[in-house]
Amino acid sequence: MGYSRDMLSKPVIGIAYTGSDFNNCHRHFPELLAAVKRGVLAAGALPLEFPTISLGEVFLTPTSLKYRNLMAMDTEEMIRAQPMDAVVLMGGCDKTVPAQLMGAVSADRPAVMLVAGPMMTGRHHGERLGACTDCRRFWARYRAGDIDADEISAVEGQLAVTAGTCAVMGTASTMACLIEALGMCLPGTAAIPAVHADRLRAAEASGVAAVKLIGSKLTPSRLINEKSVANALRVLLALGGSTNAVIHLTAIAGRTGVKVSLDRLNALSDATPVLVNLKPVGNGYMEDFCAAGGMGALLRELKPLLHLDCLTVTGETLGERLEHDVGFVDPSIIAPFDKPLEGEGGLVALFGNLAPKGAVLKRSAADAKLFEHEGRAVVFSSLGDLAARIDDPALEVEPADILVLQNVGPHSPACMPEAGYLPIPKKLAQRGVKDMIRISDARMSGTAFGTIVLHVTPDAASGGPLGLVRNGDRIRLSVKNRRIELLVDEAELKKRAAAAPAQTKIPERGYGKLFAEHILGADEGCDFRFLMPR
């Protein structure tokens, strides 16, 4: 490689590098990598980048979640197998950050995360646009016949105008904020826009921080513990963040032996206000959150609820970090603790005979008028069935019905895609219907909104009761009581289960076989059992 003896005698900082031509969110990584390297060199160590799998959310089939654990295994093994004293993890797009952290926890070398940072917004007819909450809004208008093909094409050109992760509080932004709450990245770095000069300064500082970590006991498994996970859950609820983060945080915490239960989520949700006014829950974008004070300001507002003795990657405790000068805070984006946007957390877990091991609803992005509702089920048995019939003018459906999508959970061939945001049937969209209750064992993009019950567990493909719902059954949702009930008696459900037992087809070879044989349910973070600690 042409290194001098002098250089080779220095400690080594590995840099897990996820630049890829299939990952548009990471297209600024070459520049960011150079900044990390100069930080490492300036601090007296040798930076050595190494490639791992990169997961570009929009290009992966059937869904990026299928490959999160593969990337986690790749990251873990490459950190462990190669000679490095500490590692900088460069990630950003949805699954990359949880995958890297899961792997880093299991490898347990000193590590610091550097996230990609969010995209800037674009403009259409004077209106700001950001991927991908605004895409959904415009797409719904296009489906309803409100705007034409030329306009939707013009909107498309303004949705993802810079490098970086989705511009709203979607999964990538939520995960970046949780990483900062866990103490795994430098303070104040979660929300800096991807193309801002401060992002490069953060990269340089992350390189320096990694060198400081050499020989330290501040490894990921020390920083991520019961208390820091509780802090991260508080932040998730105060953000009104992505439902996907529940799965990812469960998986990350699971690698340290810490269990994230949905009951615990509910208990914290009851006592955590929503403070952050960003799309899809509110109005702003990630660049506004950064300018409004970012994670430092949010953590300060949440201070009474947080465990302040948690250590961070700098060696400071969270409490010590929050003693520093906060600077400007914009209360229109980060509300004060005593004047919250909503009194209770953005996410809520539901239980009942339809979801014995739980389901998740993003209540802050849902229509409260539907929170106490009983309706008739309109069932789609698969993604193919949904695509074939949802816009059929002959579909028997009314606004008060409940749309049910089966066989899209982790044990299905679909591998739990972000398909839970079922479109409003075209004939109802044209009548002006904007929201309906939708229930599935799928996930939903963190950028989406609606009264949507997700992650129903056990999933239909593993024999869960969701697979037993039939057209015309009555379903009752009660957010107040945290219940989701299928109003069909036990004997009838047993009969249906016996008549059509759930079947999962295991692929014959390769990663697909490994995935199908070892994938755990959403309640266990969709990790593989053999990757969890014994």
Q: Which residues bind ligand FES (CB under 6 A)?
A: 25, 57-58, 93-94, 165-166, 170, 172
Kindly tell me which of 37 and 199 has the beta carbon lying closer to ligand FES.
Answer: 199
Is 295:237 a contact under the CB 8 Å cutoff? no
- Tell me how far apart the alpha carbons of residues 213 and 508 are, in angstroms, rounded to a whole number: 44
Is 344:230 a contact under the CB 8 Å cutoff? no
C-beta of 92: minimal distance to ligand FES in Å? 7
Kindly tell me which of 60 and 306 has the beta carbon lying closer to ligand FES.
Answer: 60
C-beta of 160: minimal distance to ligand FES in Å? 8
Name the percent of the chain in helix, strand, coil, to the closest 5. 40, 15, 45
C-beta of 113: minimal distance to ligand FES in Å? 15
Kindly tell me which of 195 and 311 has the beta carbon lying closer to ligand FES.
Answer: 195
What count of residues does the chain have? 534
C-beta of 210: minimal distance to ligand FES in Å? 24
Kindly tell me which of 57 and 523 has the beta carbon lying closer to ligand FES.
Answer: 57
Kindly tell me which of 33 and 115 has the beta carbon lying closer to ligand FES.
Answer: 115
- Tell me how far apart the alpha carbons of residues 371 and 481 are, in angstroms, rounded to a whole number: 10
Nearest partner of 520 among 259, 268, 269, judged by Cα = 259
C-beta of 143: minimal distance to ligand FES in Å? 21
Kindly tell me which of 18 and 406 has the beta carbon lying closer to ligand FES.
Answer: 18
Q: What CA–CA distances, in Å, run from 98 to 19, 86, 284, 418?
A: 16, 18, 25, 16
C-beta of 134: minimal distance to ligand FES in Å? 13
C-beta of 285: minimal distance to ligand FES in Å? 13
DSSP-H helix ranges across 108-259: 133-143, 149-156, 171-181, 197-213, 220-223, 226-239, 244-254
Kindly tell me which of 72 and 167 has the beta carbon lying closer to ligand FES.
Answer: 167
- Tell me how far apart the alpha carbons of residues 85 and 279 are, in angstroms, rounded to a whole number: 40
Backbone angles phi, psi at 483, to 5 degrees: -120, 145
Q: Which two tokens stand for residue 17?
A: 């590098």
Kindly tell me which of 45 and 172 has the beta carbon lying closer to ligand FES.
Answer: 172
Three-state DSSP at 337 gives coil
Kindly tell me which of 93 and 439 has the beta carbon lying closer to ligand FES.
Answer: 93
Three-state DSSP at 144 gives coil
Kindly tell me which of 57 and 441 has the beta carbon lying closer to ligand FES.
Answer: 57
C-beta of 315: minimal distance to ligand FES in Å? 30
- Tell me how far apart the alpha carbons of residues 96 and 324 are, in angstroms, rounded to a whole number: 31
Encode 399-436: b = buried (16+ Cβ within 10 Å), e = exposed: eebbbbbbbbbbbbbbbbbbbbbbbbbbbbbeeebeeb
Kindly tell me which of 20 and 206 has the beta carbon lying closer to ligand FES.
Answer: 20
Query: Beta strands 347-352 and 127-129: pairing type?
Result: unpaired
- Tell me how far apart the alpha carbons of residues 431 and 411 are, in angstroms, rounded to a whole number: 36
C-beta of 132: minimal distance to ligand FES in Å? 7
C-beta of 64: minimal distance to ligand FES in Å? 9
- Tell me how far apart the alpha carbons of residues 6 and 263 are, in angstroms, rounded to a whole number: 55
Backbone angles phi, psi at 80, to 5 degrees: -75, -40
C-beta of 456: minimal distance to ligand FES in Å? 24
Angle in degrees, CA 290, 182, 100, rounded to 5: 95
Radius of gyration of the chain (CA): 23
Kindly tell me which of 56 and 375 has the beta carbon lying closer to ligand FES.
Answer: 56
C-beta of 453: minimal distance to ligand FES in Å? 23
Three-state DSSP at 347 gives strand
C-beta of 91: minimal distance to ligand FES in Å? 10
C-beta of 188: minimal distance to ligand FES in Å? 20
Three-state DSSP at 527 gives coil
The residues that bridge with 361 in the sheet, in sequence order, are 348, 453
- Tell me how far apart the alpha carbons of residues 357 and 456 are, in angstroms, rounded to a whole number: 8
Kindly tell me which of 272 and 445 has the beta carbon lying closer to ligand FES.
Answer: 445
Kindly tell me which of 94 and 527 has the beta carbon lying closer to ligand FES.
Answer: 94
Q: What string of DSSP letters covers 265-315?
A: HHHHHHT--B-B-BTTTSSB-HHHHHHTTHHHHHHHHHGGGS-TT-B-TTS
Is 116:25 a contact under the CB 8 Å cutoff? yes
